[in-house]
């Protein structure tokens, strides 16, 4: 109510020019003329289009004319803009102005407590009908602050939920609410990030959110069709009304921009990918890290709104703290302010926002840093005016100072991108808002004065310095006296004058009212006698030339590498046309067995020959492996490495989620696993759900982008889980939360069976509809689509399981539906039903010897793998733990004790996992035609005393002990140099990562089975 009253108040007193206003005038009308002519200004009409000295006329809030000799209409009030520069007012393309902070969800509020308002979406995180134009509140204080940074308009983007709602372009003027809205329903905001953790309801993980976004676009596309059908044939069940899906219509048809937020460079690529998948008109609010993958970002052709919250300098004040600073972090600090400049130079369309700054009042300072670090002023201006105006569909109304546009005019006393320049005022819709007005009269210059107490005598008052903060001296009786405590405000100057040197012991105080030509003053002599003084100007005010030379800024010290930071390379390792590995013990893991003194020839990334005395083709890279052992690259059939999110625990069935959506190709564990000879992995969803998410089979191509890690020919798969984790045996539920179905192994069986049946029903429903397509079309359901694929044998099932009863259960359920489980994961009691597993034909991917971390792992024995192997099961040893995956060869070595041959044991981490993942045509053994994914070891791979020396993928060397030494040296040198730079910088960056935010959260945690609920 208070705010409303304020608005009302304002509207009464400033009701000039309320064109087309519905509100009645209650008092006297305000008909102050709204015609202004700005004369003699430097006018930046548009980026790159400058009038060095000209006039600009506005009438009733619109620009009437602009030009060197634009005529001044006789009814105009004139403003002398000598020395001033006019720009189009800035547009903040991504603002939260006027919106309340979203409430932080209480833990345990998994479901809405109250019934939702109206025809809401079933999921409270989808709020597309939220309309900023209906919800924002004018915020005078914030508006003033934004105006002080040059902004005339802000694009207000809703900030709560995943599908956040409709944005609006809002003016920062002082009109009443409705007049502030420049355009509503400008764009639709979608976010990958929601408040609340594991218990905040579905979806609560990045992976789940992306899946939910995907499904919702599909739903939005589909939504109108049931209604069309229903309108044609009302004699069928009425379709649902859904405000969110209805509100997404323009966006899903590509007619309304979709704004997405990215928190890191990979997030940008994810957003762009979603946009491409649904042909959306996507704009991304970037993270500030886009420069690190500039080519990939550029190739998406997606525009970026860049924030200027540069990271704080890493803590390096003490040597111990400095140890915690990673090279990645240091390099990002060093290069972050070049983000905008580099993107613009690469041709990426950019806009700039004050969003993410702790204090929007620092925007200009940050912008100037970006300009100093390579962003051209012209592009910077475009990024704040023409670009956002174009993207938001208001370029015909605003964004330049051309005739016919809104009078949004920024007035500065110089080049706005230079450090000393001040914003004097900003006109919004033809109305003046002072920011830092210059003094009405410039007091600087020479004045001759007389004192009432010394008639006849004259002195000289000389003032210089800044117009608002003059300094100077008085010359009296041949002595120069320095002024102290000079103050100059509201046209009054005052100062103190120590007068000991002219015989008056003490300090005289003087003040005066200043006009252009005269000062009328009053004073207090040291003896208490008061006097008047009068001064007349002898010399005109003169702005002092800016003598401070702008220091050339130091640019980023090192070229970008992939991945960013430590152990990154300038580009992917070369793939030599021919490679000959000579004179090694070769564990082929195929029919030829283990060969001594043998050679292996690789051509174009594929193995072509293995044998003795192979001649090197001309130009081949030869690797002398005398005394060394060569094995296939090891394959980890159960990994969570490089997954930015692991579990979507919001629902019990989540096979619509995809690990591929959340791959973090920068995970340092990739490099560490390469250093231990692991070349491929099966990245799985966690074990929170009976039917979990879709897995991703990858090769550890360190330095490649996420999608480039994907193993091209690997068939798709999915994670299942049984037992303690899915029934949440070890959970302590927050108060007020209900247990999730299922809570017993009985329920697990029934739920899986039910979903299999649901998928069959779904398939039938589609077939039925396809026949005549007359009735309401079925809704495409990504979850059921995935299950249909499983039932059709097109999606491999990798099932986390422990106890023999549940193992058998799953095999039987699968058999009932005529399908085969591809791999049983962990399967720690597999040895108890090895015969059944072998008969079913499932693979078994186990730990070598983990046990006792929970009841269902109590009967786990290290003989599990060997016993299953002996019964004819294809057995592998996996890691489920990023560290363990760096040494799978030793895990395999543990099988020998149980009577396996060395080659059988090594197959547990090479050929067998390849078979389980159905990629054995390409990897898993060293045979002609297969990929050149191999490891060179210092000795037998099964010996604890052996080191991995080289790791190759696709005939490219991704790890080499010698190169690793070079990396170490480089990391040492670069960290040292950047730490020096931080120490020298006294970094005054205002931004910094938010409290509790680090870039790659998943690296902190070693994913392992001990965290029983989260991973496995």
Partner 1 sequence: MNKKANRQNRILPLFTLHLFAVFMLMASDPIPAPKQKKPLALTGGTIYTVSGPVIPNGTVVFDKGIITAVGTNVTIPADAERIDISGKSVYPGLIDSYSTMGLKEIGSVRGTLDHSEAGDMNSNARAEVAVHPESKLIPVARSGGITITGTTPVGGLIAGTSAAILMDGWTWEEMTLKAPLGLTVNWPTMIYTASPFSRQTKEEWMKDRDARLKALNDAFAAARAYVIAKRAEQSKGIPRHDTDLRWEALIPVLERKIPVWVNANELTQIQAAITWAEKENVRLIIVGGRDAWRITNQLKAKNIPVIVTDVLSSPSRRWEEYDLVYSLPGKLKEAGILFCISGDTDPSNARNLNHHAATAAAFGLSKEDALKAVTLDAARVLGIDSLVGSIEPGKQATVLVVSGDILELSSTVEQVYIQGKTVDMRNMHKRLYDKYTEKYRQLKETE
Nearer Cβ to partner 1 (155/1007): 1007
State which of residues 299, 324, 485, 792 lies at the interface with partner 1 (CB under 8 A).
324
Q: Which of 656, 649, 651 is nearest to 686 (CA)?
A: 649
661 binds partner 1 (CB under 8 A): no
Cα→Cα distances 1004→669, 709, 741, 882, 999, Å: 11, 21, 31, 11, 10
d(CA 770, CA 197): 41
Provide the 3-class DSSP secondary structure of residue 888. helix
Cβ–Cβ under 8 Å, residues 673 and 628:
no
Q: Which of 434, 390, 377, 394 is nearest to 410 (CA)?
A: 434
Shortest distance (Å) from residue 936 CB to partner 1: 15
391 binds partner 1 (CB under 8 A): no
Angle at which helices 265-277 and 206-232 pack, to 10 degrees? 20
State which of residues 14, 227, 504, 898 lies at the interface with partner 1 (CB under 8 A).
898
Shortest distance (Å) from residue 861 CB to partner 1: 4
The H-assigned helical ranges of 627-723 are 668-674, 706-709
Burial class (CB in 10 A: 0-12, 13-18, 19+), 16: middle
d(CA 217, CA 271): 13
State which of residues 320, 456, 549, 551 lies at the interface with partner 1 (CB under 8 A).
320
332 binds partner 1 (CB under 8 A): no
Tokens of 482: 């320095």
Of the candidate spans 733-741, 749-757, 783-791, 890-898, the one that interacts with partner 1 by CB under 8 A turns out to be 890-898
Element holding 596 (H helix, E strand)? strand 594-603
- Letters for 558-587 (x = contact with partner 1 by CB under 8 A, - = none) are -------xx---------------------
Phi, psi of 289 (to 5 degrees): -110, 10
Half-sphere exposure of 603 (CA within 13 A, CB side): 9
Burial class (CB in 10 A: 0-12, 13-18, 19+), 448: middle
Shortest distance (Å) from residue 51 CB to partner 1: 50
Q: Which of 191, 167, 179 is nearest to 92 (CA)?
A: 167
Nearer Cβ to partner 1 (738/945): 945
Shortest distance (Å) from residue 114 CB to partner 1: 28
Half-sphere exposure of 22 (CA within 13 A, CB side): 3
Nearer Cβ to partner 1 (235/995): 995
Place of tokens 């046209």: 491
State which of residues 61, 677, 893, 941 lies at the interface with partner 1 (CB under 8 A).
893
DSSP code, position 336: G
987 binds partner 1 (CB under 8 A): no
DSSP code, position 695: P
121 binds partner 1 (CB under 8 A): no
d(CA 675, CA 958): 9
Shortest distance (Å) from residue 596 CB to partner 1: 19
Of the candidate spans 1-9, 11-19, 293-301, 325-333, the one that interacts with partner 1 by CB under 8 A turns out to be 325-333
Give Cβ neighbours of residue 466 (< 8 Å, ≥ 6 apart). none
Tokens of 387: 């670009």
Nearer Cβ to partner 1 (568/590): 568
Give, as ranges, the residues between 665 and 684 that touch partner 1 (CB under 8 A): 668-669, 671-672, 675-676
35 binds partner 1 (CB under 8 A): no
Give, as ranges, the residues between 948 and 967 that touch partner 1 (CB under 8 A): 964
Interface with partner 1 (CB under 8 A), residue total 70
3-state secondary structure 721-733: ECCCCCCCCCCCC
- Letters for 822-841 (x = contact with partner 1 by CB under 8 A, - = none) are ---------xx-xx------
State which of residues 308, 327, 643, 888 lies at the interface with partner 1 (CB under 8 A).
327
Give, as ranges, the residues between 845 and 864 that touch partner 1 (CB under 8 A): 849-855, 858-859, 861-863
State which of residues 22, 31, 772, 944 lies at the interface with partner 1 (CB under 8 A).
944
Burial class (CB in 10 A: 0-12, 13-18, 19+), 732: exposed
The β-bridge partners of 716 are none
Nearer Cβ to partner 1 (325/392): 325
Shortest distance (Å) from residue 915 CB to partner 1: 22
312 binds partner 1 (CB under 8 A): no
| Dihedral angle over CA of 5, 6, 7, 8, nearest 10 | 50
Phi, psi of 432 (to 5 degrees): -80, 135
Shortest distance (Å) from residue 730 CB to partner 1: 5
Cβ–Cβ under 8 Å, residues 523 and 531:
yes
- Letters for 900-929 (x = contact with partner 1 by CB under 8 A, - = none) are x-----------------------------
Cβ–Cβ under 8 Å, residues 496 and 483:
yes
Nearer Cβ to partner 1 (106/324): 324
Shortest distance (Å) from residue 675 CB to partner 1: 4
Tokens of 954: 């696709």
CB-CB neighbours of 618 under 10 Å = 7
Shortest distance (Å) from residue 264 CB to partner 1: 13
The β-bridge partners of 462 are 446, 473
Of the candidate spans 6-14, 151-159, 664-672, 741-749, the one that interacts with partner 1 by CB under 8 A turns out to be 664-672
Nearer Cβ to partner 1 (367/942): 942
Shortest distance (Å) from residue 810 CB to partner 1: 19
Give, as ranges, the residues between 595 and 634 that touch partner 1 (CB under 8 A): none
d(CA 116, CA 121): 8
358 binds partner 1 (CB under 8 A): no
Rounded to a whole number, what is the distance in angstroms from the first to the last CA of the chain? 54
60 binds partner 1 (CB under 8 A): no
Of the candidate spans 277-285, 303-311, 324-332, 810-818, the one that interacts with partner 1 by CB under 8 A turns out to be 324-332
Of the candidate spans 29-37, 411-419, 450-458, 989-997, the one that interacts with partner 1 by CB under 8 A turns out to be 989-997
867 binds partner 1 (CB under 8 A): yes
Place of tokens 């500065």: 412
Cα→Cα distances 606→585, 621, 710, 921, 928, Å: 19, 14, 18, 12, 7
State which of residues 175, 205, 664, 871 lies at the interface with partner 1 (CB under 8 A).
871
State which of residues 593, 604, 899, 928 lies at the interface with partner 1 (CB under 8 A).
899
Element holding 283 (H helix, E strand)? strand 282-285
Shortest distance (Å) from residue 897 CB to partner 1: 6
State which of residues 971, 979, 987, 990 lies at the interface with partner 1 (CB under 8 A).
971
- Letters for 714-733 (x = contact with partner 1 by CB under 8 A, - = none) are ----------x----xx---
Nearer Cβ to partner 1 (408/665): 665
Cβ–Cβ under 8 Å, residues 1015 and 1008:
yes
Of the candidate spans 76-84, 322-330, 510-518, 697-705, the one that interacts with partner 1 by CB under 8 A turns out to be 322-330
d(CA 934, CA 422): 63
1010 binds partner 1 (CB under 8 A): yes
Give, as ranges, the residues between 496 and 515 that touch partner 1 (CB under 8 A): none
Q: By the criterion CB under 8 A, which residues form the site for partner 1?
A: 320-321, 323-324, 326-328, 565-566, 668-669, 671-672, 675-676, 724, 729-730, 831-832, 834-835, 849-855, 858-859, 861-863, 867, 870-871, 882-883, 886-887, 890, 893-894, 896-900, 942-947, 964, 968, 971, 975, 993, 995-998, 1001, 1003-1005, 1010, 1012
């Amino acid at each position: 109510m208070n705010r409303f009253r304020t608005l009302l108040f304002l509207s009464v007193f400033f009701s000039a020019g309320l064109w087309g206003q519905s509100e009645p005038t209650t008092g006297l009308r305000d008909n102050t003329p709204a015609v202004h002519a700005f004369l003699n200004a430097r006018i930046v009409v548009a980026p790159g289009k400058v009038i060095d000295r000209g006039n600009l006329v506005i009438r009733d809030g619109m620009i009437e004319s602009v030009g060197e000799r634009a005529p001044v209409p006789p009814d105009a009030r004139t403003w002398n803009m000598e020395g001033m520069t006019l720009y189009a007012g800035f547009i903040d393309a991504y603002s939260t102005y006027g919106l309340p902070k979203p409430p932080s969800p209480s833990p345990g509020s998994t479901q809405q407590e109250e019934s939702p308002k109206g025809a809401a979406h079933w999921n409270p995180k989808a709020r597309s009908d939220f309309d900023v134009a209906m919800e924002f509140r004018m915020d005078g204080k914030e508006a003033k602050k934004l105006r002080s940074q040059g902004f005339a308009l802000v694009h207000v983007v809703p900030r709560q939920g995943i599908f956040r709602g409709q944005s609006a372009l809002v003016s920062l003027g002082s009109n009443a609410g409705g007049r502030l809205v420049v355009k509503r329903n400008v764009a639709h905001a979608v976010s990958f990030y929601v408040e609340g953790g594991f218990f905040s309801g579905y979806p609560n993980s990045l992976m789940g959110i992306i899946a939910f976004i995907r499904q919702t676009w599909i739903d939005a596309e589909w939504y109108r069709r049931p209604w069309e059908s229903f309108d044609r044939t009302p004699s069928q069940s009425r379709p649902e009304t859904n405000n969110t899906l209805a509100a997404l219509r323009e966006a899903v048809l590509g007619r309304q921009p979709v704004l997405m937020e990215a928190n890191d460079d990979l997030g940008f690529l994810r957003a762009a990918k979603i946009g491409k998948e649904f042909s959306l008109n996507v704009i991304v609010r970037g993270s500030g890290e886009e420069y690190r993958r500039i080519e990939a970002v550029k190739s998406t052709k997606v525009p970026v709104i860049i924030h200027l919250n540069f990271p704080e300098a890493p803590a390096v004040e003490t040597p111990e703290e400095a140890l915690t600073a990673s090279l990645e972090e240091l390099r990002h600090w060093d290069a972050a302010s070049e983000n905008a400049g580099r993107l613009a130079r690469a041709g990426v369309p950019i806009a700039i926002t004050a969003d993410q700054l702790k204090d929007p009042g620092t925007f200009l300072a940050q912008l100037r840093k970006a300009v100093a670090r390579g962003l051209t002023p012209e592009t910077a201006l475009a990024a704040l005016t023409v670009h956002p105006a174009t993207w938001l569909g208001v370029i015909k109304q605003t964004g330049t100072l051309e005739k016919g546009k809104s009078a949004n005019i920024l007035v500065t006393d110089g080049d706005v991108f230079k450090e000393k320049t001040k914003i004097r005022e900003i006109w919004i819709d033809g109305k003046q808002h002072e920011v830092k007005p210059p003094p009405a009269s410039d007091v600087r210059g020479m004045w001759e004065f007389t004192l009432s107490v010394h008639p006849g005598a004259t002195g000289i008052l000389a003032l210089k310095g800044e117009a608002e903060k003059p300094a100077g001296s008085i010359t009296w009786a041949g002595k120069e006296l320095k002024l102290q405590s000079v103050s100059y405000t509201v046209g009054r100057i005052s100062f103190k004058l120590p007068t000991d040197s002219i015989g008056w012991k003490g300090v005289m105080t003087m003040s005066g009212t200043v006009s252009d030509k005269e000062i009328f003053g009053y004073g207090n002599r040291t003896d208490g006698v008061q006097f008047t003084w009068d001064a007349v100007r002898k010399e005109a005010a003169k702005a002092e030339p800016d003598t401070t030379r702008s220091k050339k800024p130091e640019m980023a010290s090192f070229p970008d590498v992939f991945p960013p930071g430590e152990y990154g390379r300038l580009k992917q390792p070369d793939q030599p046309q021919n490679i000959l590995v000579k004179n090694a013990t070769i564990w082929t893991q195929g029919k030829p067995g283990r060969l001594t003194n043998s050679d292996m020839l690789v051509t174009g990334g594929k193995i072509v020959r293995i044998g003795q005395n192979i001649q090197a083709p001309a130009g081949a890279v030869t690797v002398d492996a005398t005394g060394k052992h060569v094995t296939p690259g090891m394959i980890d059939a159960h990994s969570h490495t490089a997954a930015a999110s692991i579990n979507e625990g919001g629902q019990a069935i989540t096979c619509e989620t995809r690990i591929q959506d959340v791959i973090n190709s920068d995970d340092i564990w990739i490099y560490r696993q390469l250093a231990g000879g692991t070349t491929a992995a099966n990245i799985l969803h966690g074990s929170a759900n009976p039917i979990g998410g879709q897995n991703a089979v990858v090769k550890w191509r360190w330095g490649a982008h996420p999608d480039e890690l994907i193993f091209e020919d690997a068939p798709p798969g999915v994670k299942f889980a049984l037992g303690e984790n899915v029934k949440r045996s070890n959970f302590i539920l927050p108060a007020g939360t209900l247990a999730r179905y299922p809570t017993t192994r009985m329920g697990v069986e029934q739920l899986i069976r039910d979903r299999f049946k649901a998928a069959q029903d779904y398939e039938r429903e589609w077939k039925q509809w396809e026949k005549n397509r007359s009735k309401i079309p079925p809704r495409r359901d990504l979850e059921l689509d995935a299950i249909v694929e499983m039932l059709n044998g097109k999606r491999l099932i990798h099932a986390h399981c422990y106890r023999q009863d549940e193992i058998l259960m799953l095999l039987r359920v699968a058999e009932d539906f005529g399908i085969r489980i591809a791999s049983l994961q962990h399967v720690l009691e597999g040895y108890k039903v090895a015969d059944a597993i072998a008969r079913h034909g499932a693979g078994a991917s186990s730990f070598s010897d983990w046990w006792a971390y929970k009841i269902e792992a109590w009967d786990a024995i290290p003989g599990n793998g060997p016993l299953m192997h002996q019964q004819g099961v294809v057995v592998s040893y996996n890691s489920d733990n990023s560290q363990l995956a760096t040494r799978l060869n030793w895990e395999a070595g543990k099988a020998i004790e149980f009577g396996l041959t060395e080659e059988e044991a090594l197959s547990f981490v090479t050929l067998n996992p390849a078979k389980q993942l159905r990629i054995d045509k390409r990897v898993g053994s060293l045979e002609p035609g297969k990929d050149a994914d191999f490891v060179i070891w210092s000795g037998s791979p099964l010996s604890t005393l052996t080191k991995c020396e080289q790791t190759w993928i696709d005939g490219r060397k991704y790890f080499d002990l010698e190169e690793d030494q070079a990396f170490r040296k480089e990391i040492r040198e670069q960290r040292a140099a950047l730490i020096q730079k931080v120490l020298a910088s006294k970094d005054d960056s205002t931004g910094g990562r938010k409290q509790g935010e680090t870039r790659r959260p998943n690296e902190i945690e070693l994913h392992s089975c001990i965290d029983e609920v989260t991973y496995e």
